[in-house]
Amino acid sequence: MSTPLVFKFGGASVKDADSVRNVARIIGLFPQRPMVVVVSAMGKTTNAFEEVVGHWSRNELELAKEKIGAIRKFHFEIIEALFEEPGAVKSEVQELLHQVSAGIDRTDLSFGEAYDFIVHYGELISTKIIAAFMGTITPTVWQDTRLLVHTDDQFRRATVRWEETTTAIQNRLDSGKVNVVQGFIGATASGKPTTLGREGSDYTGAVFAFCLGADSLTIWKDVPGMLNGDPKTFENTTKIDRLPFNEAIELAFYGASIIHPKTIQPLKKKGIPLHIKSFVDPAAEGTTIGGVERASPEVPNFIVKKNQALLQLKTKDLAFIAEHHLSAIYQLFADQGVVVNLMRNTATKAVFCINHDPIIVPKVMGELTDLFDLELVSDTALLTIRHYRKEDEDRETNGLDILLEQRTPDIVQFVFKQI
| Total residue length of the chain | 419
Say what the pLDDT of residue 337 is: 87
Environment class of residue 344 by beta-carbon count within 10 Å: exposed (0-12), middle (13-18) or buried (19+)?
Answer: middle
Whether the Cβ atoms of residue 8 and residue 275 lie closer than 8 Å to each other:
no
Environment class of residue 85 by beta-carbon count within 10 Å: exposed (0-12), middle (13-18) or buried (19+)?
Answer: exposed
Cis amide bond preceding 34, omega within 30: yes
| Closest by CA position to 256, among listed 83, 382, 363, 82 | 382
Q: Is 291 helix (H, G, I), strand (E, B) or coil?
A: coil
Rg over CA atoms, the chain: 22
pLDDT per residue, tens digit, the chain (419 aa), is 578 999 999 999 999 999 999 999 999 999 999 999 999 999 999 999 999 999 999 999 999 999 999 999 999 999 999 999 999 999 999 999 999 999 898 888 999 999 999 999 999 999 999 999 999 999 999 999 999 999 999 999 999 999 999 999 999 999 999 999 999 999 999 999 999 987 789 999 999 999 999 999 999 999 899 999 988 899 889 999 999 999 999 898 888 877 877 899 999 999 999 999 999 999 999 999 999 999 999 999 999 999 999 999 998 887 778 888 899 999 999 989 898 999 999 888 999 999 998 888 999 999 999 889 999 999 999 999 999 999 999 999 999 999 999 999 999 999 999 87
User: What is the biggest distance separating any 2 CA atoms in the chain, rounded to whole angstroms?
Assistant: 71
Protein fold of 5-215:
Carbamate kinase (3.40.1160)
Say what the pLDDT of residue 1 is: 57
Q: Which residues lie below 8 Å from residue 147, measured CB to CB, with a gap of 6+?
A: 168, 172, 187
Neighbours of 118 (CB within 10 A): 24
Q: Is 206 helix (H, G, I), strand (E, B) or coil?
A: helix
Alpha-carbon torsion, ordered 163, 169, 175, 176, to 10 deg: -170
Long-range contacts of 53-60 (CB under 8 A, 24+ apart): 53/114, 53/115, 53/118, 53/119, 54/358, 54/359, 56/104, 56/114, 56/118, 57/111, 57/114, 57/359
Q: Where are the domains of the chain?
A: 5-215, 301-417
> 135: number of CA atoms within 13 Å, CB side?
14
| Closest by CA position to 24, among listed 14, 12, 32 | 14
**CA 25 – CA 220 distance, rounded (Å):** 13
The helix (H) or strand (E) run that includes residue 26 is helix 17-28
**CA 315 – CA 307 distance, rounded (Å):** 26
Say what the pLDDT of residue 219 is: 96
Say what the pLDDT of residue 178 is: 97
Q: Which residues lie below 8 Å from residue 94, measured CB to CB, with a gap of 6+?
A: 72
Say what the pLDDT of residue 106 is: 87
- For domain 301-417, give the CATH number: 3.30.2130.10
> Would 5-215 and 301-417 be classified into the same CATH topology?
no
Say what the pLDDT of residue 278 is: 96
Say what the pLDDT of residue 416 is: 97
| Closest by CA position to 65, among listed 104, 117, 25, 15 | 104
Whether the Cβ atoms of residue 278 and residue 223 lie closer than 8 Å to each other:
yes
Say what the pLDDT of residue 125 is: 98
Q: How far is CA 251 from the centre of its chain?
A: 15
Whether the Cβ atoms of residue 64 and residue 33 lie closer than 8 Å to each other:
no
Say what the pLDDT of residue 173 is: 95
- pTM strictly above 0.85: yes
